[in-house]
Amino acid sequence: MKSIVSAILLTALSRVSAAPASKTTTAIGENPIVFDGRIPPLFRSEKFDSYDTSPYNAEYVLGQEPWSKVIHFPNVEDSLFDVPLNGKSLTVTINGKSIFAPGGNPQTGFRRSELLPGPNSGNDITTNGVTTHHFSLRTDNTRPLNYSHEYQPVFIETQDYSSHVWQIKIGTPFGEEWPLEDAKTIRLYSSSTSNGPYELFRTPFTTDEWHNFAIETDWVNNKISAYYSSGLSPLEQLFPRINNDASGKGQFHIGMLKLPTGPVGIDVTKEGYQSKRPNEGITYGGIFIEDTSAGSVTLQPSV
Q: Are 13 and 161 in contact (CB under 8 A)?
A: yes
| Listed range (32-36, 167-171, 196-200, 239-243) with the worst mean pLDDT | 196-200
- Average pLDDT value over all residues in the chain: 90
Residue 23 has pLDDT above 60, yes or no: no
Q: pLDDT, tens digit, for every residue of 80-110?
A: 999 999 999 999 999 999 999 999 999 999 9
Residue 15 has pLDDT above 50, yes or no: no
Please tell me the predicted confidence (pLDDT) of residue 5: 36
Phi, then psi, of 143 in degrees rounded to 5: -135, 70
Please tell me the predicted confidence (pLDDT) of residue 11: 36
Paired sense of beta strands 211-218 and 130-139, if any: antiparallel
Please tell me the predicted confidence (pLDDT) of residue 121: 87
Please tell me the predicted confidence (pLDDT) of residue 119: 87
Please tell me the predicted confidence (pLDDT) of residue 153: 98
Q: For the domain made up of 2-291, give the CATH fold.
A: Jelly Rolls (2.60.120)
pLDDT band at 26 (very low <50, low <70, confident <90, very high): low
pLDDT band at 277 (very low <50, low <70, confident <90, very high): confident
Please tell me the predicted confidence (pLDDT) of residue 194: 63
What average pLDDT score do residues 203-232 get? 97
Residue 216 has pLDDT above 90, yes or no: yes
Distances (CA, A) of 179 to 76, 148, 236, 278: 29, 9, 29, 21
Please tell me the predicted confidence (pLDDT) of residue 169: 98
Please tell me the predicted confidence (pLDDT) of residue 192: 75
Please tell me the predicted confidence (pLDDT) of residue 17: 33
Residue 283 has pLDDT above 70, yes or no: yes
What average pLDDT score do residues 61-76 get? 96
Please tell me the predicted confidence (pLDDT) of residue 12: 31
Residue 289 has pLDDT above 80, yes or no: yes
pLDDT band at 2 (very low <50, low <70, confident <90, very high): very low
What is the identity of the amino acid at 58? A
Q: pLDDT, tens digit, for every residue of 160-194?
A: 988 999 999 999 999 999 999 999 999 999 997 66
What average pLDDT score do residues 35-56 get? 96
Please tell me the predicted confidence (pLDDT) of residue 10: 35
Residue 24 has pLDDT above 50, yes or no: no
pLDDT band at 18 (very low <50, low <70, confident <90, very high): very low
pLDDT band at 27 (very low <50, low <70, confident <90, very high): low
In angstroms, the CA 132 to CA 149 distance is 28
